[in-house]
Every structure is written in structure tokens, then in C-alpha cells.
Amino acid sequence: MTVRHFLTLNDLSRDELRGLIQRAIELKAKQKSGDIFEPLKNKVLGMVFEKSSTRTRVSFETGMVQFGGHAIFLSPRDTQLGRGEPIEDSARVLSRMVDIIMIRTFEHEKIQLFADHSQVPVINALTNEYHPCQLLADMQTYVEHRGNISGKRVAWIGDGNNMCHSYINAAKQFDFQLHIAAPEGYLPDAQIFADGDSHATLAESPAVAATDADLVVTDVWASMGQEEEQTARERAFTDYQVTPALMKLAKPDALFMHCLPAHRGEEVAAEVIDGAQSVVWDEAENRLHSQKALLEFLIG
Ligand code: CP
Ligand code: NVA
């Protein structure tokens, strides 16, 4: 049997993704009702973090505990991964011991290489290019608040980064229209954009992207690993803040999402992220429920 990985949203079919979102909603209700459900008893998740994390680490670790399993946090500082042991060897060894592996790293090729040598499923917990787990939570949150996202209009305001790329994948898989407003020099990867078929388009300004949107999404201007570009990026992105005026162009019942951590006064105004249209706390919580659905699906 071939091992299923979750490196991008394209690793699952449209039906599988829809099923996962429904399952996440069920698992959330189960958890809230106090129902003990431990399908992963004695199963172990290995969590490799080469970048910082709050939500991803806590949601995966909590999810495994709630499922009756266990999670091991592995950082390059304290493992041989940080001392140059080849990725292929690390993958071979770790996958003989644990049942599933989650990795947050830099280049997407690294996680691809790891997955190629792993006997167990590998989950992308963020690379420079993609953040698919976040999209599961975002899609669950949209469905919970507004129902089916198919046919809806989504505005991406800001950097053409890992989150933007996963939104492009999601537009195709969940069948919505994505309007991206990004400054020159910070556009999404051309190939990933092209692979979104006609589900993603470039808008000439944030106002154009946000007009009539059902959902407005943004992310930090400088991602992890780009700290030294902060000042240059602040200049390039000055006109790309999600403000109350921008939200007014969207549909009256439009939602606002942000994967977090957020910088109020940079990519988003405090009045927006802390306002009535923002669903960022549900979105963060849903990392837990949607990843539990993913773990259950991949371990089977
Ligand atoms: N959104 C997200 O992935 O958050 P963390 O970096 O805290 O894991
Ligand atoms: N684009 C951000 C997302 C953080 C969850 C980053 O890569 O740092």
C-alpha cells in the first residue's frame, strides 16, 4: 500500500478534502460534548520544527493527546537534524519508530525529500512555499460561519507567500474565485498561480480585490526567515493594509481571516482583526479540529 502524505492540498482529492472538513466539524462537536474518543491509542506523531510555532505545535500535540496518542517535539537544536544528518537518513530512521510525522521547515524540497524516504505519512506544517494545514482550518471556519465556499469570492491582500500559494491551491480544490492583490516584486510563484487554472486572478489593487468579496484574508508582510527584509517590505506593502475602509468594499456579511500571528497596524488594522467580521479565533481553534481529522484520515 502506498503511503499518503499531505504536503500540499493537491495531495488529496476534492471529495477527500470536503470529507475532511465535515469530519473536523464532527470531531469538534464530539470534543465539545466531552465525548472521549481515542482512535490513535499508542500512536506517536513526530513533530519536526525548524521554525517557531505556537498554534501548529499546540494543536498537533493536543490533538494527539485527545486521540489517546502521543507527540514528540523535535527541534534541530537538540537532534542530529541540526548537525547535518542527511534528510533521507532521518526520514528512514524516524519513520521506523513513529506512526506519522509533521514537519515545519524552509525549502519545500526538503519535506518532499523527507516524504520520499518515509515509511509513514508526512504532513507539511509550513514550508516557505505552502501552509496547507492552515487552509483546512480556514475552510472549516468558512463552512461553519457561512456554509459552502464553492462559487464564493475571496480576496487575498498582501504577500504572494506560502499562505497565498495554499489559497491558490484551495481555490481550485474548493472551487472558489481568488482575487490576489500583491505589490510588484511580491507576486505569488508563477507556476503555482498558473496551476490554479482560472480560479486565481491578479487584481490591480487591494480595492479591486476586496470589492464584493465574501472573505478577505491577509498575512504578515515578512514571513519567518525574512526578518531582515522587514523595513523594505514595510515600504512595499504600505498600501496593502486591511482597513475598515477596505472591508466596506466587501460584501456586508464578508468574513476576515488571518492565520496569525498578526501585526496590528501593519497588514491589518486593529479595528478589523478585533472587529465583528473577524473570525480569527475560531480559525485558530479549528487548527486543532481539522488536523485531528487529517491525522485520523492519514493513519486510517
Ligand atoms: N498560523 C500558524 O501556523 O501559527 P504558528 O506559527 O503559531 O504555528
Ligand atoms: N507566512 C507566515 C505564516 C506564519 C504562520 C510565515 O511563513 O511566517
> Within a domain: residue 183?
yes
Instruction: Tell whether 92 and 39 lie within a shared domain.
Output: yes
Calculate how far, in angstroms, residue 297's C-alpha sits from the geometric centre of ligand 2.
Answer: 25
- 104 catalytic? Reply is yes
Domain CATH for 288: 3.40.50.1370
Q: Which of 5, 18, 131, 289 is catalytic?
A: 131
**Model confidence over 158-196: pLDDT tens digits?**
999 999 999 999 999 999 999 999 999 999 999 999 999
User: Does ligand 1 have an atom closer than 6 angstroms to the CB of 104?
Assistant: no
User: Does ligand 1 have an atom closer than 6 angstroms to the CB of 55?
Assistant: yes
Q: Is the pLDDT of residue 13 over 80?
A: yes
Q: Which ligand lies nearest the alpha carbon of 125?
A: 1
Confidence band of 300 (pLDDT split at 50, 70, 90): confident
Instruction: Tell whether 188 and 294 lie within a shared domain.
Output: no
Q: Which of 259, 277, 289, 291 is catalytic?
A: 259
Instruction: Tell whether 269 and 175 lie within a shared domain.
Output: yes
* Single-letter code of the amino acid located at 81: L
pLDDT at position 284: 98
Instruction: Tell whether 181 and 261 lie within a shared domain.
Output: yes
Calculate how far, in angstroms, residue 223's C-alpha sits from the geometric centre of ligand 2.
Answer: 5
Backbone phi, psi, residue 176, to 5°: -120, 170
Q: Which residues are CB-contacts of 176 (< 8 A; sequence separation ≥ 6)?
A: 149, 150, 151, 152, 153, 154, 170, 199
Nearest ligand 2 atom to alpha carbon 51: 8
Q: Which residues are CB-contacts of 234 (< 8 A; sequence separation ≥ 6)?
A: 221, 266
Percentage, residues of the chain above pLDDT 70 = 100
* pTM of the shown model: 0.98
Q: Which residues are CB-contacts of 182 (< 8 A; sequence separation ≥ 6)?
A: 156, 158, 159, 160, 164, 188, 202, 240
User: Does ligand 1 have an atom closer than 6 angstroms to the CB of 134?
Assistant: yes
Q: Whose CA is closest to 246, among 160, 156, 186, 149?
A: 156
Calculate how far, in angstroms, residue 135's C-alpha sits from the geometric centre of ligand 2.
Answer: 12
Instruction: Tell whether 170 and 292 lie within a shared domain.
Output: no
Provide the residue range defining the domain that includes 86: 9-130+284-299
Q: At what angle do helices 280-299 and 55-66 cross, to 10 degrees?
A: 50
- The gap from C-alpha 143 to its chain's centroid, in whole angstroms, comes to 16
**Stated length of the chain:** 300
Calculate how far, in angstroms, residue 300's C-alpha sits from the geometric centre of ligand 2.
Answer: 29
